[in-house]
Structure 1
């Protein structure tokens, strides 16, 4: 790693400890809060350090989807059958380098985790949003937030909606309510959250065990002795050096989705004591072409006028394919009968043309290429088929009624946003692992600072960050408390 790693402090050099606890949790977002609640519930003395003046971190900026399945109360109430086995098949299918043990645990424990979240003091609405959208416009409790119905995944696992949304309207802030409830539960458990206080270094004893942290608050600093440290300090999207090294495609044009504290410090703390890194080159990047969903019936083509993805894919899957096209240039083409202007034009409208030939000339597409793509698409769409990319029949419609419109999906023209999905390698119980797979005694990680479960940007589903962050945060809390 090119970014500077924090120094490691030898326990023998510490003259005085300001605090002595069982578990220190670094960060108080959804993953850190869940870890702290579970550790404290198990009887451990827990102290939470939070660099910001308030809890939440990037979690509070999220829309509030938790990816859960296996037959939750919301799935049952809305008539959607699901099983842990089908959920597991799906997550294995979308993962480029799957971690079967972690995926199995997450799917088998999903219903219990759903119930644990509701026991914090809220209820997912027992309603379903059937349209294709980035997030529900209201407080509907369930929707499809991934590629479950997209080919080839729909043939590898029985599709089921698993995006459970916290009952808060809007694109952001939904998870903040969960963080507030976690903080309230910590107060009930007598656990302190120490704000504006960050962990700066890990303390290691002569046996290589993590036995504490050095903290800093304004000009004050000191050491906390602990039997376990849980890092839940976010990703690295705000660290220019790390972004340039691992995900350079995010270095310039996309907007970053993260908070000030997504600077990779937690990842660097883990790496400073030998923690391995995984999936650091995998970003989540997206510029959604929907809503309105009618635009999905159109064709996505590259600068050569050729299709390259099934347009009914989840928005980040489509976007990930755009970034692989020549010069990251792509256009969405629709005819007059399927044209509708987006409410939020993240993918800007370019213009309309009376003929495909005029569009080819204006966009610089080689003559005849777009026309050939259009003719082939329309021929099969009329039969409800897409032999090239497996687009589902309900999103197929011939685009044969001119004039035709084009939207610009190109990087630098469309408004892309993204975050990082790589982080520290962890066990099923959140233990930080070395490159060789050995657990570092006393060190745990969860949330955006740990390698993402659905680590492939083409397979990511909204809700896996909050879902797995809280789920594996809980496991880390339990395991750490047992020390």
Structure 2
């Protein structure tokens, strides 16, 4: 019996070795397949030098947009490299929408808007520090950005009001859900449909240039080691540095120790690579905090909650600012309140108007009561004071005029009198880094000497100049789509002027199914367990065959699309390999991973 066991283990090890060898032996294979809602499968590129025409560094919203647009323009050999185990970047966390002017959706609602008004609102919000030419390009191309997103399978068809905008301008999904997951899902599906290789878990280390200063390649480190991808054009789309508090504090010391709304990969790698390549920078000290972030979980409450009617009150139960002021103003006002926090208060009408609120409630970070007084007791606020505040505000909302703080009337969507009543604890956290690489209107990177760096393009939060001293909510998604498309088109035009397109050389190879490394010793069957993820309660099904765990699948859950798939795959594979639930969480999907791990432990408690 022992010999049989030994033989079985040896066979498993041999199979694993063969599987790994096949992963690392070559880059041949087909584009990642599977449900379009999930990120492309991780790849195992060999530690051998590769070649492409255009390398896009970063698989967030700007990077995937640039790659897609380049291929739509005719590029045939484009590859995306991404250091994280999933695509999406900070875009996945975007909850609001995409600001656009002169759209068909505005026209249908009778909303009068213009490029000029969009530009002036953005310049005012950015304290006139913005590059007006870039802002104008963004506004002029914003309606086209909405149409493009919808053409690739997205959904931007509802227009709402956000802070800093003179009119209703932000375009959101028709079901009022968060914009980021919707956009990432559409981008992933289009990347897959176009056969664009995506090398996940692959960090870009250095942008190479030739003797003439033109881009010639990118040094990367992937699952199988370091190698070089030779190319003629690079689109830098690595995002900002909001998750690197050391770098944040370097440029803005007063933000040392602040929490962040950013995903773990937003560490400023692109800034370092661009600096080494000779790029110029702009507005590096302009770092935005988002005012409504849960200080315990770092969950960001979308501005849409306030845009649909919520108010902010301090621990004394009093309003202290116009809720629709720009983010820097609201953040500063909150920090002046008792303990530097406040509560965002709303009623059932606001809850019903915005699907995103359900995820906050599921996560257990929302207080609720049938009465205003009951809500006040839950959050430790004087009931009489909160009742007075709510009554006064109801009068303002019904009259359409905020007599205290001058809140814009189109954002007073509810008079906050419909039971039940809800409150969320809020404090500012680092949200967006407005500074970055200097670019021109064609997304060409400008060098420290003032001339363009041949073959180097950039888009998204890694760039500076678009948002000035303060970014308006809704402008980040406009930024990544508009300038992502321009960067992709500019890279392809540069390519055509410098030798033309070549055949695709890098292919995506699907990751092999996990193979158990040890015997599990479980009873065969299908087991169900529950845990608590980022979106609240979740359940998993664990399948045991031949005594081993062979499958871990999420069943019922409210996790973020584009993130939960990576947590399910990453955590599930490690559980299968080790035949135990004590595994590490997947970077960028920590809460979902921990929920899955908890649920697997629950499922397996009767399986031994």
TM-score for the superposition, normalised by structure 2: 0.57
Larger relative contact order, structure 1 or 2 (CA cutoff 8 Å, min sep 6)? 1
Structure 2: state its 5+ residue gaps.
1-46, 293-300, 352-356, 368-377, 416-420, 495-608
Alignment of 1:208-247 (within 5 A): 208-247=213-252
Q: Can you list the C-alpha shifts for 1:147-178, whole angstroms capped at 9, x where unaligned?
A: 22xxxxx4xxxx23223337573576222222
The residue number in structure 2 matching 1:475 is 486
1:278 equivalenced with 2:282 (yes/no): yes
Q: How far apart in 2 are the matches of 1:475 and 1:272?
A: 24
Q: Can you list the C-alpha shifts for 1:84-132, whole angstroms capped at 9, x where unaligned?
A: 232222222222212111111121222222222222134434xxxxxxx
Alignment of 1:244-393 (within 5 A): 244-258=249-263, 260-280=264-284, 281-287=286-292, 309-313=321-325, 316-317=327-328, 319-322=330-333, 325=336, 329=340, 344=360, 350-353=379-382, 389-392=405-408
Q: How far apart in 1 are the matches of 2:52 and 2:467?
A: 34
Q: How far apart in 1 are the matches of 2:176 and 2:331?
A: 29
What's the secondary structure of 2:106's corresponding residue? helix
Following TM superposition, by how much is the alpha carbon of 1:378 offset from its aligned partner in structure 2, in angstroms?
A: 12
Does the aligned pair in 1 maintain the 2:311–2:319 contact within 8 Å?
no
What's the secondary structure of 2:152's corresponding residue? coil
1:61 to 84, 88, 93: 93
1:438 equivalenced with 2:467 (yes/no): no
Q: Can you list the C-alpha shifts for 1:229-248, whole angstroms capped at 9, x where unaligned?
A: 11111221222321221244
Does the aligned pair in 1 maintain the 2:244–2:267 contact within 8 Å?
yes
Choose 1 or 2 for highest CA Rg: 2
Q: How far apart in 2 are the matches of 1:175 and 1:78?
A: 23
What's the secondary structure of 2:169's corresponding residue? coil
The residue number in structure 2 matching 1:366 is none
What's the secondary structure of 2:113's corresponding residue? coil
Q: Can you list the C-alpha shifts for 1:177-224, whole angstroms capped at 9, x where unaligned?
A: 22223313431xxx3223332211111222222221112113422222
Change over 3 Å in CA distance of 1:167–1:233 after alignment to 2: farther
Following TM superposition, by how much is the alpha carbon of 1:66 offset from its aligned partner in structure 2, in angstroms?
A: 2.0
1:74 equivalenced with 2:85 (yes/no): no
Alignment of 1:4-19 (within 5 A): 18-19=49-50
Of stretches 107-116 and 280-289 in structure 1, the one that deviates more from structure 2 is 280-289
Q: How far apart in 1 are the matches of 2:155 and 2:483?
A: 21
1:420 to 417, 427, 433: 433
Does the aligned pair in 2 maintain the 1:309–1:321 contact within 8 Å?
no
Does the aligned pair in 1 maintain the 2:94–2:181 contact within 8 Å?
yes
Q: Can you list the C-alpha shifts for 1:229-281, whole angstroms capped at 9, x where unaligned?
A: 111112212223212212445443434322x3212111211111222222333
What's the secondary structure of 2:232's corresponding residue? strand
What's the secondary structure of 1:146's corresponding residue? coil
Change over 3 Å in CA distance of 1:220–1:108 after alignment to 2: same
Q: How far apart in 2 are the matches of 1:115 and 1:473?
A: 15
The residue number in structure 1 matching 2:472 is 460
Aligned length: 411
Alignment of 1:390-405 (within 5 A): 390-392=406-408
Does the aligned pair in 2 maintain the 1:68–1:164 contact within 8 Å?
no
Structure 1: state its 5+ residue gaps.
1-15, 126-140, 149-153, 360-370, 400-404
The residue number in structure 1 matching 2:27 is none
Change over 3 Å in CA distance of 1:215–1:300 after alignment to 2: same
TM-score for the superposition, normalised by structure 1: 0.70
Following TM superposition, by how much is the alpha carbon of 1:440 offset from its aligned partner in structure 2, in angstroms?
A: 1.8
1:181 to 177, 189, 199: 189
Q: How far apart in 2 are the matches of 1:172 and 1:379?
A: 35
1:52 to 48, 64, 84: 84
1:165 equivalenced with 2:154 (yes/no): no
Does the aligned pair in 2 maintain the 1:215–1:224 contact within 8 Å?
yes
2:125 to 94, 109, 112: 94
Change over 3 Å in CA distance of 1:306–1:208 after alignment to 2: farther
1:429 equivalenced with 2:456 (yes/no): no
Does the aligned pair in 2 maintain the 1:31–1:446 contact within 8 Å?
yes
The residue number in structure 2 matching 1:144 is 161
Does the aligned pair in 2 maintain the 1:447–1:469 contact within 8 Å?
yes
Change over 3 Å in CA distance of 1:268–1:186 after alignment to 2: farther
Does the aligned pair in 1 maintain the 2:71–2:78 contact within 8 Å?
yes
Change over 3 Å in CA distance of 1:470–1:436 after alignment to 2: same
Q: How far apart in 2 are the matches of 1:480 and 1:200?
A: 20
Q: Can you list the C-alpha shifts for 1:428-465, whole angstroms capped at 9, x where unaligned?
A: 111122345432222111112122622433x5213x22
Q: How far apart in 2 are the matches of 1:34 and 1:425?
A: 20
Change over 3 Å in CA distance of 1:311–1:289 after alignment to 2: farther
